[in-house]
Amino acid sequence: MGPWLWSINCMKETLCGISSLVLIYYRSETLSLKEHSVESISFA
């Protein structure tokens, strides 16, 4: 039960880390999109 419990904790930590990274990436992408919205429209 020890290793099994440890692997679950590791998975939780990994998921939390990934989700936080995705959130940070999404936020920065949204900010850059807001800044360059005019450029994106002209490119499209």
Report yes or no: 8 and 2 within 8 Å, Cβ to Cβ: no
Per the structure, the count of domains in the chain is 1
Could you give the C-alpha distances from 22 to 3, 12, 36, 42, in angstroms and in order? 28, 15, 20, 28
pLDDT for 38: 61
Gap between the Cα atoms of 4 and 33, Å rounded: 43
Tokens coding 26: 């999404």
pLDDT for 9: 85
Residue ranges making up the domain that contains 30: 2-43
| Confidence at 44, pLDDT banded by 50, 70, 90 | low
Report yes or no: 33 and 40 within 8 Å, Cβ to Cβ: yes
